[in-house]
Amino acid sequence: MPPQPPPPVPDFIYGTAWKEDRTPALTELALRMGFRGIDTANQRRHYFEAGVGQGLAAAYRSGVVTRDDLFLQTKFTYQPGQDHRLPYDPTASLSVQVAQSITSSLDHLGTDYVDSYVLHGPSSNHDWTAADAEVWEAMRKERDAERTRFLGVSNVSLRHLQQMAAARAELPAFVQNRCYARLGWDRAVRAFCREHKIVYQGFSLLTANQEVLHHPLIASLAASANTTPAQIILSFARAIGILPLTGTTDAEHMKQDLASRDVKLPPEAVQAIESVAG
């Protein structure tokens, strides 16, 4: 397999976790507000993927977007990360579970392909295991069958990625991680991604970094740029190469989050924010 071309990715991703019955309306609202990237998972415990599909269908019906305008991303989640509402037969092999899970995702989302299919998390916090290798191979087959355009991994450490590379596994097009300022905004994983041309998606940028969000430096940068502190953090994230996710449930915040794309921070401000924590 030749190296993957850089995927055409949106510059912001709307996350659909934890929205339950509000999922269809919030997905449609996010599209109306201008988001073109949608993240979900076939993990009913935290996501209502079929509700995302309902929101997409509503947006298609009203002419807001077409499928071709969108970047749809969903995930395969191992059984320990699920509740009883499984999208696969837990007695089947992992390869079959992947095939069943993506079939169910495509049905939920009303599409015959997703743009990115992500392993929600490796089976062990420490190592890239034989189970992960089996799942990854099954995901690669789905990609080769054009049921997904690209592959990703989530909740990974540098060690996982190095072990994938050492095993000569195909590297992902995307990494999606929680981004803690106190860990240098996931510095080590981001460096690996940069080196291997992997797009790094960051989530919990605001929720995991309240100490930075409320830091006087951020307040003063926000005041001088006439923005909100949240917009400063999102703009900073982009400046250090992170493709941000937001899961806001508020129309005004959706607008502000998208507008953060136009907030340009000078390099000194980026450096100063980096040194607030980690």
Ligand X SMILES: NC(=O)c1ccc[n+]([C@@H]2O[C@H](COP(=O)([O-])OP(=O)(O)OC[C@H]3O[C@@H](n4cnc5c(N)ncnc54)[C@H](OP(=O)(O)O)[C@@H]3O)[C@@H](O)[C@H]2O)c1
Interface ranges with ligand X (CB under 6 A): 15-17, 39, 120, 154-155, 176, 203-207, 228, 230, 245-250, 253, 256-257
Distance CA 31, CA 55 (A): 9
- Smallest gap from Cβ 155 to ligand X, in A, equals 5
For 207, the token pair is 């929720």
- Smallest gap from Cβ 274 to ligand X, in A, equals 19
- Smallest gap from Cβ 72 to ligand X, in A, equals 12
**Triad 74, 83, 170: Cα angle to 5°:** 35
- Residue among 28 and 39 whose Cβ is closer to ligand X: 39
Distance CA 152, CA 171 (A): 8
- Smallest gap from Cβ 14 to ligand X, in A, equals 8
Distance CA 129, CA 76 (A): 16
Distance CA 105, CA 8 (A): 21
- Residue among 47 and 192 whose Cβ is closer to ligand X: 47
Paired sense of beta strands 174-178 and 114-119, if any: unpaired
- Residue among 62 and 207 whose Cβ is closer to ligand X: 207
Amino acid letter, 102: I
Whether 235 and 265 have beta carbons less than 8 Å apart is answered as: yes
Whether 77 and 117 have beta carbons less than 8 Å apart is answered as: no
- Smallest gap from Cβ 230 to ligand X, in A, equals 4
Contacts of 29 (CB under 8 A, 6+ apart): 251, 254
- Smallest gap from Cβ 69 to ligand X, in A, equals 19
Distance CA 164, CA 170 (A): 8
For 31, the token pair is 């599209």
- Residue among 144 and 250 whose Cβ is closer to ligand X: 250
- Residue among 12 and 88 whose Cβ is closer to ligand X: 12
- Residue among 4 and 204 whose Cβ is closer to ligand X: 204
